[in-house]
Amino acid sequence: MWPRRYGFLKLRCFTPKRHYHVPVPLLEDLTQRGFIQDVTRPDALQNAILSQKQTVYVGVDPTAKSLHIGHLIPLLALLHFQIRGHNIIPLIGGATGRVGDPSGRLVERQLADIKQVEDNVTSLTASIQRFFQRALLYAGTRLALDDDVRAEPSVKNNLEWHESFKLLDFLQKVGVHVRVNTMLNRESVQARLSSQQGLSFTEFTYQLLQAYDFYHLHKHLGCTIQVGGSDQWGNIVAGLEFIGKLESPASLDQTSSKEAFGITTPLLTTSTGEKFGKSAGNAVWLDPNLTSVFDFYQYFLKVTDADVGKYLKLFTLMSREEIDDLVSTHQEQPEKRLAQLRLAAEVTEMVHLKMGVIQAITKTNLLFGSEYIDLKAQDVILAFNEDPRLVKTTLQDILETPVAKLAAKHGLVSSNSASRTLIASRGLYLNNQPIQDAQYKITHTDLLDEKIAILRAGKDKTLILAATD
C-alpha cells in the first residue's frame, strides 16, 4: 500500500537546518501558511511585530486531559512567534473551564466536575509543556535558532486570578464597563439564543471572564496579542474592548487599543466541516495513551491529496519553497504518497520525537509492506510494545515447533487443523512467503535480525514472534 523504503535515515536527509534568509515578515508568513482567519488592525499589528518584541497568549480550557490535533494550529502559531524571538504564554482555563465556553456550540456544555477540571489542568499543563519541549527540539533540527528562543514557556492558569475574585468585586471592576446589548450581539450568543435550548447566564458571562484574562495578562505580563480559533473572535474582541476602556476611557473606538491585538486561526475540521475535538468524538490525541503513535502517524498519512499541501504549511516548519517542490513532485506520482509520507513523519517527530517516527514507520512497513529485509528487531519490538500481536517466546520454541503449530499455539489461528487448511490454500505466510509444508520449522536463516519471525494468516492477521534468549 505504501512505498516501502522510507527509513529514518532518508527522513533526516530531507531536513537540513536553514536560516531565515531575508525572512518574510511574521504576519505575512503566518498568512501564507494558512494560520490567519481574522486580524484586528492588521497594519498596526504588522508594525508592532516589526518594531518590538511582543507577548502573545493562547488559552486552552481543560475540557479533557490531553491536547488533540485541533489544538495544534493555535499552538503552532505561538511556536512561530517564539522562534521569531517573541514571548509566548500558553494559558489553561482552570477557572473558565468550570463555566464552559458557548462559542461554536449549539447545546450547553455539561457542568464540569471541579475535581475533574483540576485533574485535567494538571494533565494539560504537562501536555502543553511536553509539546513545546518537543516542538522546540524539532524546530532546532530544521532552523538555526538563537539560544534565547529555546526556553520552554511557562504555562499559566487563570484560576490564579479568578479564584479570589469575589462576585461583587467582579461586577464593580468588570461588569460596569460592559454593555449587555454588546454582549447580546456576539455571534456565539446570537446562535445560542436562536437555538431551542437557549443560553444560560453562566455561559453568557464566559466572555467577561476571558476578556478579563486578556486584560490581566496585558496589565501584569505585558501581553499584547491573543491568538485563538475562529470561534473565539467575539471573546477576543471583548477583551480588546475591555482593555481599551480601562486604558483610554475617553476613546470612541474601544477596539483600537494601541497595544492590544487579536488573531484568529481557522478551525481544524473534518471533510464534512465538523470541528475536531473531544465533544465531536473524533479527536486525535497527542497523548500516546489515548491515540497511539502509530494511529497518530496514520492519520496524517491518510490526508487527502487536496489537503496535504495545506497541512504541510500548517503543521511543519518546512519552507514554502520546499513544500511547493514536494507537492509538485507528489502530483507527478500521487500513488507514491510522497507528500503524505513527509507530512506524517514531520508532525510525528514534532509531537513524539524521532523515536516515534521510527516506531510508526516500522509498524507501517511491517503491516502494509511486502519486504521485511530492512526491519530491525529492536525497532519492531518497540513499535509493537503492548500490542497483543507481539509474542515473546523462547528461541527453542520458535525453531523447534512447526510453523503450523506455532500459529495455533500463539493465537494467530484457532487450531492446528485451521493452520493446515490455510497452508493447503497458500494462506499462511512466514515473512511474507507462503508456507507449503505443514511440518515446516523456522530456521536461523528465516529469523529477521536473528531474533524475530513474522507470521501472517490471510491478508490481515499478523503474529510477531520475538526470541527472548
Q: Measure the CA angle with vertex 210, ends 100 and 275; round to 5°.
A: 50
pLDDT of residue 102: 66
Residue 2: the pLDDT is: 43
**Positions in the chain whose pLDDT score sits under 50:** 1-13, 20-22, 249-257
| pLDDT in the model for residue 11 | 40
> What is the distance between the alpha carbons of residues 255 and 233, in angstroms, rounded to a whole number?
12
Q: Report pLDDT for 6.
A: 40
Using CA atoms, how far apart are residues 460 and 429, in angstroms rounded to an integer?
11
pLDDT at 167: 85
- CA distance linking residue 392 with residue 381, whole number of Å: 9
pLDDT at 8: 35
Task: Provide the pLDDT for residue 274.
Answer: 60
pLDDT recorded at residue 391 = 97
Angstrom distance (rounded) from CA 447 to CA 296:
30
Do residues 173 and 246 lie in contact, with contact meaning Cβ atoms separated by under 8 Å? no
Confidence at residue 272, expressed as pLDDT on a 0 to 100 scale = 58
* CA distances for 71 relative to 8, 67, 227, angstroms: 27, 6, 12
pLDDT at 204: 81
pLDDT of residue 188: 73
